[in-house]
Amino acid sequence: MEYPSIKQFLANTSVYPVLGKALTLENTAQLDFSPSNERLRTVDLSNTEAFNFFVFDELRKQGKAFGIGGYFEHRAIYSRSQVFATAAEDFRDIHMGIDIWAAPLTPLFAPLDGVIHSFQDNAGFGNYGPTIILEHEINDQKLYTLYGHLCLEDLRDIHTGQVIKAGEKIAHIGPFPENGDWPPHLHFQLMWDMMGNWGDFPGVCSHREQEKFQAICPDPAYLIPFLI
């Protein structure tokens, strides 16, 4: 199926930054979780406190409030959880969204008008934890935005079909372990097609599926925005 480019979809549409502010070189560090980062080999990634220290120590050293990276990045950090081992020959380690690493309880905002499509707590070590998916429609084309690793409290008092306006606070970056037991960050992902999913959508794919999912999941940077 042919999908529009995200730039075409957003033409003549105002976008509210998901973090409430644009991410820039002044406030943001690029974090590398690919196999080429040899420093990762010194970290016990199965220990969330150790992993958390690694991430936020890097931000402290660089004097940055946010870390960012990961759109279709080949990652070395998913060995920490069996969530990603769908089959021995088809391990999922290609990250399909963007991660924004920031302090727990950092507020998050809707980038576009829309409605709540679905939400749930995808509990389990290494999973999304609390997750909200919004549905947006412009010129009869739908786009879905996924927010993973939230606070459990964010799932209270919301309902599917709830109208959300651009710039409305929708959630917060969750602390571990309630966020799926990750160092605090937002997993932010776009999907043209939910593929029958509800309250969840794969955030990581195998190398074999990369081309398929890259067509379905456009670059979220245009909705953060980050140096676009």
Show the domains of the chain with their CATH numbers.
Answer: 6-11+22-222 (2.70.70.10)
Reported confidence tier of residue 17, pLDDT bands at 50, 70, 90:
very high
Reported confidence tier of residue 84, pLDDT bands at 50, 70, 90:
very low
pLDDT tens for each residue of 110-140:
999 999 999 999 999 989 999 999 999 999 9
Q: Give the integer Cα–Cα distance in Å for 223 and 17.
A: 6
Structure tokens at 112: 């576009």
Lowest mean pLDDT across 12-26, 128-142, 152-166, 167-181: 12-26
pLDDT tens for each residue of 20-65:
998 998 999 999 988 888 888 888 888 999 999 999 999 999 999 9
Q: Give the integer Cα–Cα distance in Å for 100 and 204.
A: 16
